[in-house]
Amino acid sequence: MADDTVGKDVTPAGPKGSEVGAPRAQRSGSDDREKGFLSELFAPVAGFGVSFGTMFRKVATEEYPEKPRPTAPRFHGRHQLNRHPDGLEKCVGCELCAWACPADAILVEGADNDDTPGGAGRFSPGERYGRVYQINYLRCIFCGLCIEACPTRALTMTNFYELADNDRGKLIFTKDQLLAPLQTGMLTPPFPMADGLEERDYYQGKVSGPTDAQKAYVHDRDAAASDGDGLDDDGSTAPSITGAAGRPGNAAAAVPGAHDLVHSSNPSAPQTREGANP
Ligand code: SF4
Ligand code: SF4
């Protein structure tokens, strides 16, 4: 195919030699970028437009930490390990949350519940319970995949977000920090499941609180452990029979059935770092 540009001037069109350096208005041809009369007039003060516009906007300054702003209801904050209404733990130590975590932030070590006389006791309605549970908040990205993976709804996230610290070790939360506080009437594990009920009954909501038999068991257990010196056989303080209503946590958590909400029904309610939230 013949090249029809051969022998022709292919220099791009532009200002002619005599126009280079001349004012734009004197150049030939139209120019869409030319400024209008008003633009030229206000050009020296145009930069103040941003300042004036901002003066009449709503102030967005937040007085944190004096007046923390409530989070969105479904905000992903600190985790919580929930309990059944009688006080048994919902976690069955399956480790699914740890496997689902993309940041490898969760450590779980399960152990067998042991109802036999002289055994370690029962902490959850399942075959096993979470003996060791840790979440490393230096790694956690608050994606929520762990709570999606949990088959028992034991693990949920609260609205609490004040997790900064100058000690890295304190940002690895252990089970005692993550476990929901005992609500009024709940018993301190270990103790047996409610008579005549199976594990599935707990997850079907058939348990509304501790039975008389469970209360009697815990009472006898604590009495035997106290045994005059107020200490367990291993030297630890004997557990209380019932949960303390005055423990840290969200007041909404005292409502029966509200202690295991995924998120707070009242995000502006007081929340604490060490005490669990709703
Ligand atoms: S929120 Fe995400 S990153 Fe954090 S522990 Fe759960 S799965 Fe891991
Ligand atoms: S929190 Fe849920 S997923 Fe994780 S070990 Fe416990 S029961 Fe399993």
> Using one digit for the tens of pLDDT, what is the confidence trace for 173-202?
999 999 999 999 999 999 999 999 999 999
The span from the first CA to the last CA of the chain, in angstroms, equals 79
Mean pLDDT over 241-260 rounds to 33
**pLDDT for res 260:** 37
Smallest CA separation from ligand 1 atom 4, residue: 140
Tokens of 33: 């970028």
For the chain, strand residue ranges (E) read 79-81, 106-112, 128-136, 155-157, 172-174
Of the listed ranges 24-28, 60-64, 123-127, 252-256, the least confidently predicted one is 252-256
pLDDT digits (tens, 9 = 90+) for 66-120: 998 889 989 999 999 999 999 999 999 999 999 999 999 999 999 999 988 888 8
CA of residue 45 to ligand 2 center, whole Å: 62
Residue 172 Cβ contacting ligand 1 at under 6 Å: no
Label residue 192 exposed, middle or buried (CB < 10 Å: 0-12, 13-18, 19+).
middle
**DSSP code for 98:** H
Radius of gyration (C-alpha) of the chain in whole angstroms: 33
Task: Give the best-scoring range by mean pLDDT among 16-20, 79-83, 237-241.
Answer: 79-83
Nearest to 149 by CA among 111, 113, 199, 102: 102
Query: What is the domain partition of the chain in residue ranges?
Result: 79-254
- The pLDDT assigned to 163 comes to 92
Q: If you average pLDDT over residues 118-130, what whole number do you get? A: 92
d(CA 241, CA 221): 9
Backbone phi, psi, residue 79, to 5°? -80, 165
User: What's the 117 CA to ligand 2 centre distance in angstroms?
Assistant: 27
Q: Tell which one of 95, 147, 175, 199 to mutate to probe ligand 2, the residue whose CB is within 8 A of the most ligand atoms.
A: 95
The chain-wide mean pLDDT, for the chain, equals 78
Q: Residue 41's pLDDT is what?
A: 82
Give residue 10's pLDDT: 53
CA 215 to ligand 1 centroid distance, Å:
36
Is pLDDT larger for residue 246 or for residue 73? Answer: 73
Q: How far apart are CA 202 and CA 204, in angstroms?
A: 5
Q: How confident is the model at residue 49 (pLDDT cuts 50, 70, 90)?
A: confident
Q: Residue 84 in contact with residue 104, Cβ under 8 Å?
A: no
Provide CATH code, domain 79-254. Answer: 3.30.70.3270
Of all helices (H) and strands (E), which one includes residue 219?
helix 212-226
